[in-house]
């Protein structure tokens, strides 16, 4: 049986956020609203709703399959690529800590530690002690990781651009659909 971690609805202090402090995240609000609104019951869903959701999931699967193949072709596992991208794209002012990486990947802390160990052994990641809290370890991609990420990210952005018309069509279908 798989164990799932509870999803935090508020970002860490180190994460940038467009959501005001104390306000629920848009994802949390949407999940709550759709779960509690009587208008969102099964009887109100149309064939178009199911087609829209199915097409969206199909495009997600296509993108993820593309991503896995691209990572493997670059000599990385998909999880290594995801970790390096999460570290590089974190957006904070300071390098990512392992607990931040674990949260971004949706894994337990010990799993993130094992992944970081493998990335460091492969020469793709440097660990640095936090200058303020020496108990924390900050993660910094190496030059080799940066090269992998630049190549993979360019390919992924090209793939997203290729999928863009279909994704926009799905989002527009949501705007055009009568509200439940």
Residue pLDDT, tens place only, 62-81: 999 999 999 999 999 999 99
Which whole number is the average pLDDT over 24-42?
48
Where exactly are the structural domains of the chain? 46-176
Q: Does domain 46-176 have CATH number 3.40.50.300?
A: no
- Cα(44)–Cα(66) distance, integer angstroms: 34
The reply to whether the predicted model has a pTM over 0.75 is no
Residue pLDDT, tens place only, 149-176: 999 999 999 999 999 999 999 999 888 8
């Amino acid at each position: 049986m798989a164990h799932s971690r509870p999803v935090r609805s508020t970002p860490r202090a180190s994460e940038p956020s467009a959501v005001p402090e104390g306000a629920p995240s848009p994802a949390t609000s949407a999940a709550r609203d759709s779960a509690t609104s009587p208008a969102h019951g099964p009887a109100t869903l149309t064939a178009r709703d199911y087609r829209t959701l199915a097409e969206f999931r199909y495009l997600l699967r296509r993108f993820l399959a593309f991503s896995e193949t691209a990572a493997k072709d670059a000599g990385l596992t998909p999880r290594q690529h995801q970790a390096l991208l999460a570290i590089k794209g974190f957006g904070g002012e300071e390098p990512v800590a392992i607990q931040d990486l674990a949260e971004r990947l949706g894994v337990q802390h010990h799993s993130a530690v094992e992944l970081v160990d493998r990335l460091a052994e492969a020469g793709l990641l440097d660990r640095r002690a936090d200058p303020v809290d020496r108990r924390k370890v900050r993660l910094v991609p190496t030059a080799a990781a940066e090269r992998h990420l630049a190549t993979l990210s360019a390919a992924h952005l090209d793939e997203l651009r290729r999928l863009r018309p279909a994704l926009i069509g799905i989002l527009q279908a949501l705007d055009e659909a009568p509200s439940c």
